[in-house]
């Protein structure tokens, strides 16, 4: 285990197992509706989860990426700036947003509204982690890997100052690692 990690919350095996369950659920629900979603992953944190999850969705799915950031000083309004937009038009598509963690919900809420305004047929959310205790936007993910308490986590895509994203598990940092 990485020496900066205080405890492991979810092992690689547990994440893979849960991704299989989510993939099966997504396959069933979209499949029964005769639809196939465009997976839209938000850079950069959701990349490992996207890579794991999509292996377990037995539908003809495609994926694309978006990169967004909050406007400085407008945290409470939840306005976001697009750093990288989708390469394809979303008009009429069923979008499944892939997130690493939904925290306050501001990012996903803003992206959802934007995609709906651009004419997506439906927009749903799949997130590896949900941190409902810090939510300030009325947004609920449709598919949730695990629910965590109010603690900062790293690994499986999630970072602290861009570090620890490549850990194959999700953990909590030792207190001395926060500068
Ligand atoms: P939100 O707009 O507050 O929901 O922010 C979601 C984003 O904040 C996630 O996609 C992460 O990039 C980041 N984030 C929130 N909580 C954590 C955490 O505990 N560890 C690492 N990144 C986090």
pLDDT tens digits for 146-164? 999 999 999 999 999 999 9
pLDDT confidence bin for 72, thresholds 50/70/90: low
What's the whole-number mean pLDDT along residues 9-13?
A: 98
This prediction's pTM: 0.96
Question: For position 78, what pLDDT does the model report?
Answer: 65
The stretch 46-69 carries a mean pLDDT of 97
Would you call 4 a catalytic residue per the annotation? no
CA-nearest residue for atom 21, ligand 1, is 158
Could you say which of 60, 85, 87, 103 is catalytic? Answer: 103
**Domains of the chain as residue ranges with CATH:** 12-153 (3.40.50.2020)
172 pLDDT higher than 70: yes
Strand spans (E) along 23-160: 38-42, 62-70, 80-84, 94-102, 122-130, 143-147
Mean pLDDT of 107-128: 96
The preferred substitution site among 50, 101, 138, 140 for testing ligand 1, maximizing ligand atoms within 8 Å of CB, is 101
Average pLDDT taken over every residue of the chain:
94
Contact yes or no for 11/169 (Cβ under 8 A): yes
CA dihedral for 84, 155, 71, 74, sign (positive or negative)? positive
Q: Are strands 170-173 and 5-10 parallel, antiparallel or unpaired?
A: antiparallel
Q: Does residue 74 carry a pLDDT above 90?
A: no
pLDDT at 88 (0 to 100): 86
Residue 2 has pLDDT above 80, yes or no: yes
In a 3-state reduction of DSSP, which class is residue 116? helix
Helix axes of 12-32 and 47-54: crossing angle, nearest 10 degrees: 60
Q: Of the residues 102, 158, 159, which should be mutated to test ligand 1's pocket, given the most ligand atoms within 8 Å of the CB?
A: 158
């Amino acid at each position: 285990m990485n020496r900066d990690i205080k405890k492991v919350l979810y092992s690689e095996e547990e994440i893979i197992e849960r991704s299989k369950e989510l993939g099966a659920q997504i396959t069933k629900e979209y499949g029964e509706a005769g639809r196939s979603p465009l997976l839209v992953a938000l850079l950069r944190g959701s990349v490992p989860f996207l890579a794991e999850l999509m292996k377990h969705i037995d539908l003809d799915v495609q994926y694309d990426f978006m990169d967004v950031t909050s406007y400085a000083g407008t945290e409470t309004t939840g306005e976001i700036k697009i750093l990288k937009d989708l390469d394809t038009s979303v008009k009429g598509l069923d979008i499944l947003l892939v997130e690493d963690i939904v925290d306050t919900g501001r990012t996903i809420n803003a992206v959802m509204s934007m995609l709906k305004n651009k004419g997506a047929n439906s927009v749903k959310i799949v997130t590896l982690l949900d941190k409902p205790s810090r939510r300030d936007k009325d947004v609920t993910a449709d598919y949730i890997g695990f629910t965590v308490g109010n603690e900062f986590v790293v690994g499986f895509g999630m970072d602290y100052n861009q570090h620890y994203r490549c850990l194959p598990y999700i953990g909590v940092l030792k207190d001395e690692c926060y500068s």
